Amino acid sequence: CFQAETVGSSNMENDVSLTFHQQLFLISENLVPEDVAALKFLCTDLIHFRKLECVKSAVDIFELLMAQEYLNAEDTFLLAELLYRIEYHSLLKKLGYTKEKVQEHLCEKGRVSPYRQMLYELSVNITSEMLKKIIFLLKNHLPKQWITPSALDLMISLEKMDLLTKDNVKILEDVCMTVSPNLLKIIDRYKKAKACRFFLNTGNNSFEYLGRIYPCTVGVFILQYQYKQKPCLCRKNKYEKNNQKNFRIDLLNMTMLSCMEELFLSVKHYKMDGPHRGFCLIINNVHFSSSQRKGSCKDAEQLERVFTWLGLDVKTYTDLMSVDIIKLMEIWQKVEDHQDRNCFVCCILSHGKSGVIYGTDDKPVSICTLMSHFTAKQCPQLAAKPKLFFIQACQGNNIQHPVYVHTDGPTPDSSSVQERVSLCESIPEEADFLLGMATVDGYCAFRHVEEGSWYIQALCSKLQLLVPRGEDILSILTQVNGAVARCVSPSGTKKQMPQPAYTLRKKIIFPIPMAPPPS
C-alpha cells in the first residue's frame, strides 16, 4: 500500500551568535542618519523598495539583509562592502576587514551594482546649489510642490517614475550637462563599463570570434572600466612589441559594442523576456487507493504562487490516473501557443519509484516517456526553448519507516518496476531539457503533512530569494540541494539529496518580477 510521509520541521536558518549581534549594534551606533540613508540607497537592488521604505535605522537594514540571507555571522562581506562604499573605513575592523582586504575581494564578492555605485557617487558630488538647479530643470517631471531633501531622494524618485533605469540614464546626462559637465565623467565611466562588461563572462573565444569578424581589431580587450575597480587584463595585443608589459589597447567603438553585447547575451542565455513567459503544468496526485499524500496541496499552492509570480500561466491538475497523465502530455504537446512562449515547466507531485511516477490508479508512468512528448520533433513549437520538469516523488523504497514518517513511494510488493533507471536515461537525448528530481535514484523523498515536501518548499523558497538576485536556474538548484541536505527526520537518521540533470545549452535566468515575492 502507499503511504504519505510525516516529518518534523527542519531548521532552515543559521543561528546568529550574540557576538555577531553585538558587532552590528556597535556599527549601527556609529552611523548617523545620512549614513543610514546611503546604506539604504545602496541596498535598493538587493531588498525590495517597499521593505526599505520602513527603514528607520541601520539595525533595520541589517535585519532585512539577514532575512534575505545576505548577511550572517559566517559571511559579513556585504556589510563590509557597504561601509567601504560610504567610505566609513574605520568601522571595517569591527568585522575583521581592512580597506585593502575589501578591495581585494570586491571583484568576486561585490554585490552593489555598478549602476547603484554610479548613482551614489553622483549624489555625493552634487552640492546643495547643484541640487536646486537640477530640481528646477526637472520641474515638469516632478510632482507639484514636491520637496527633495537630498540627491539620493531625487534619484529614487526618478527611478519610481521610470525616468531613470540602469539602461537609460539620459535624464541625468541632460541635467548634468547643464548644471555641471564634470559630473558627466561619472556617467560616462558607467556607460563604458556597461558596454564592455559582457566580455568578462564570454572568455577568450569571444575575442577570437571578434578577430575573425573584425581582423583590424584583434588586439587586446581590457575591461578597465569596471566601476571603481582596478583594470583587468583579459587578452594581450597580437602586436605586442619588445615584451613590454604595457600593451596597446584597441577598443571597439561604442556602437559596435552595443551590437555585439546583444549577440553574446543571446548566445549565453535563453530568451526569457517575452510578453508571455510560458505554461506551467502542476500535476498534484493526492488521493490514492489506499492512502493520501497529505501536505501535497501545500506544495501545489506554493508552486502556483511562485511560478505565477515568475510570469508563467499555471494550470493545476489533481488526482490523475496514469492514462490521464499521458493524455495530458499529448494534449499539451500540441498546444500552438507554445510558439509565443519562452519556456515550458511541468511539476509532478506523486508517488514514484526508479525512473517512474505513479498515477492515482497505482500504475507507473515513465518519466522519460512524459518528457519525450516535448522534444523538438514531437513539439516543434518548443524547439530550442528550455523545458523544465520538477518531480516530487520517491525513486526507491528501501527505508525503514519510523512512526509518523512515510514516503512518496509504494511498498516493494505493489511495484511493477523491478529495475532501477538511471537519471540520465530519464532525459530525452536532446538539448534544452532540465529534470529536477527530489531525490537520487533508489531513495525516498520526504514530505511534511502540513508544511509540504522538503524539496518543493526549498525550491519555491530559493526561487523567491535568488531570482531577484539574477541567479540562473542551475545555481538556484545547487542552493536547493544544500537546503534539502540540511533537513532531517525526527529520528535524526533520515536524510535526502535532490538531483538535477540537464541537457541545457545556455543559462536559464528568469527576469526579475516587478512584484515582491509571494511569501
**In three state form, how does the secondary structure of 203-244 look?**
CHHHHHHHHHHCHHHCCECECCCCCCCCCCECCCCCCCCCCC
- Residue 278 bridge partners (DSSP): 312, 343
pLDDT at 446 over 70: yes
Residue 424 has a pLDDT of: 53
Number of helices (H) and strands (E) in the chain: give both, helices first.
19, 11
For 341-364, how does the pLDDT look when each residue is reduced to its tens digit (9 = 90+)?
A: 999 999 999 999 999 999 999 999
Q: Whole-angstrom Cα distance, residue 461 to residue 465?
A: 6
Report in angstroms the alpha-carbon separations of 241 from 221, 246, 333: 17, 9, 60
Look up 216 and say whether it is catalytic: no
pLDDT at 169 over 60: yes
pLDDT band at 476 (very low <50, low <70, confident <90, very high): very high
Q: Name the residue with cell 516530487.
A: 392
- List the grid coordinates of 183: 559630473
Global model pTM greater than 0.85: no
For 276-323, how does the pLDDT look when each residue is reduced to its tens digit (9 = 90+)?
A: 899 999 999 999 988 899 999 999 999 999 999 999 999 999 999 999
DSSP state of 380: G
Q: Enter the CATH code of domain 18-112.
A: 1.10.533.10
For residues 52 and 64, the answer to whether their CB atoms sit within 8 Å is: yes
For residues 37 and 151, the answer to whether their CB atoms sit within 8 Å is: no
* 18-112 and 117-199 agree in CATH topology: yes
pLDDT at 196 over 70: no
pLDDT at 260 over 50: no
Among 77, 111, 123, which residue's Cα sits nearest to residue 97?
77
Amino acid code (one letter) for 196 = C
Residue 65 has a pLDDT of: 94
pLDDT band at 49 (very low <50, low <70, confident <90, very high): confident
Report the share of the chain in percent with pLDDT over 90: 53
pLDDT band at 143 (very low <50, low <70, confident <90, very high): confident
Q: Whole-angstrom Cα distance, residue 66 to residue 54?
A: 16
Domain ranges, ordered by start, for the chain: 18-112, 117-199, 278-398+428-503
Q: Which of 176, 196, 351, 406 is catalytic?
A: 351
- List the grid coordinates of 1: 500500500
Residue 107 has a pLDDT of: 79
Largest CA distance in the chain: 82
Q: Which of 394, 444, 460, 487 is catalytic?
A: 394
Q: Whole-angstrom Cα distance, residue 449 to residue 291?
A: 13
- List the grid coordinates of 395: 525513486
- Section 95-99 average pLDDT: 92
Cα 380 off chain centre by: 28
Look up 394 and say whether it is catalytic: yes
Residue 385 has a pLDDT of: 95
- 278-398+428-503: in CATH 3.30.930.10: no
Residue 12 has a pLDDT of: 36
The larger pLDDT score, comparing residue 156 to residue 323, is at 323
CATH topology of domain 117-199: Death Domain, Fas (1.10.533)
For 353-412, how does the pLDDT look when each residue is reduced to its tens digit (9 = 90+)?
A: 999 999 999 999 999 999 999 999 999 999 999 999 999 999 887 653 333 344 565 544
